[in-house]
C-alpha cells in the first residue's frame, strides 16, 4: 500500500522517532513502528533463537501479517528449524518468509560445506549477510532483538537507528534486561527454544555454536576460540559489520 507522503531522510526520521517515543514501552515502540507512516514498510528479522519468541509474540498481538524474515543458513540446528515451525504455528504468524542462501553461490563458494572451518566471516557473508541484504532491500525499516545489556556498542542502543541512510533499524527491546525477557516469557507462557535448557543461551549455526558453562558470558559459545562475535547482519555506515560491534567505527 503506497504511503500518503514521501519519507523524510532516514537521519531526520530517526531523530524525530527517538524523541517522540523515548519514554514508551517496548510494546508501544513496536506498535508505533508498525503503524507510523514515517517508519515506512517494516519487517521483523528473526533468528527464532533463544529470546526471539518475545518479539514474535508482540508482533502476533499487534499484527500477525507483519513480514517476518527468517534466514535459514542451511547450517542451523534441527531444533531451531522445528522451533521455528512450532512458534509460527502457535502464534498464528501468517507471513513468515524463509530466506536461504543462493544455491549457485553456495556451490561455487562452499560446495563441501566446510567454509566455516577456514573462513568463518566468508561463510557468514555467504549464508546470512548477503541473503539478509537482499531480503530487507524492499523495506524502509527492520526490527531487531538487540539489547543494551548485550554490551559493546549496543550499550548505548536507541529504539531507532539510522542504518547508513538506507533504512531504519528498530530495537524495541533496547532497554530490556535478561530478567525482563524471562518474565515476559513466563507471563505469556511462551515456548522456549529446546537448546536453552541444554546449555545454549545464544544459538546460531550448529558448527559455530557450543554449550556455555555456568558463569560464562551468554555469547561465549558463539565462534568459540575465534576473534569474532558478530555474524555481520548489522551495519555501520551501510556496510556489513563482521568484527565485534564494540570495535566498529
**Residues catalogued as catalytic:** 231
d(CA 173, CA 29): 9
Cα pseudo-dihedral 29, 33, 70, 86, rounded to 10: 60
Q: Count the alpha carbons within 13 Å of 15 in the hemisphere toward its beta carbon.
A: 6
| DSSP codes of every residue in 23-83 | T--HHHHHHHHTT-TTT-SEEEE----SSTHHHHHHHHHH-TTS-EEEE--S-B-HHHHHH
Q: Which three cell numbers stand for residue 147?
A: 539489547
Amino acid at each position: 500500500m503506497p504511503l500518503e507522503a514521501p519519507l523524510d531522510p532516514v537521519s531526520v526520521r530517526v531523530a524525530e522517532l527517538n524523541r517522540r517515543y523515548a519514554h514508551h514501552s517496548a510494546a508501544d515502540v513496536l506498535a508505533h513502528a508498525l503503524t507510523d507512516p514515517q517508519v515506512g514498510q517494516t519487517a521483523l528479522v528473526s533468528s527464532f533463537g533463544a529470546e526471539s519468541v518475545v518479539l514474535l509474540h508482540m508482533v502476533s498481538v499487534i499484527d500477525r501479517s507483519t513480514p517476518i524474515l527468517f534466514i535459514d543458513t542451511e547450517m542451523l540446528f534441527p531444533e531451531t528449524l522445528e522451533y521455528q515451525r512450532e512458534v509460527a504455528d502457535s502464534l498464528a504468524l501468517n507471513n513468515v518468509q524463509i530466506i536461504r542462501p543462493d544455491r549457485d553461490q553456495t556451490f561455487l563458494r562452499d560446495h563441501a560445506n566446510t567454509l566455516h572451518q577456514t573462513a568463518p566471516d566468508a561463510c557468514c557473508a555467504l549464508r546470512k549477510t548477503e541473503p539478509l541484504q537482499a531480503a530487507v532491500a524492499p523495506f524502509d525499516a527492520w526490527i531487531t532483538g538487540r539489547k543494551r545489556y548485550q554490551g559493546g556498542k549496543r550499550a548505548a542502543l536507541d529504539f531507532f537507528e539510522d542504518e547508513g541512510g538506507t533504512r531504519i533499524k528498530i530495537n524495541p527491546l533496547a532497554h530490556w534486561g535478561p530478567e525482563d525477557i524471562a518474565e515476559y516469557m513466563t507471563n505469556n507462557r511462551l515456548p522456549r527454544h529446546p537448546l536453552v535448557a541444554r546449555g545454549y543461551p545464544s544459538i546460531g549455526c550448529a558448527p559455530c555454536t557450543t554449550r556455555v558453562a555456568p558463569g560464562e558470558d551468554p555469547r561465549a559459545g558463539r565462534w568459540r576460540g575465534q576473534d569474532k562475535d558478530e555474524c555481520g547482519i548489522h551495519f555501520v555506515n551501510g556496510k556489513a559489520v563482521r568484527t565485534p560491534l564494540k570495535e566498529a567505527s
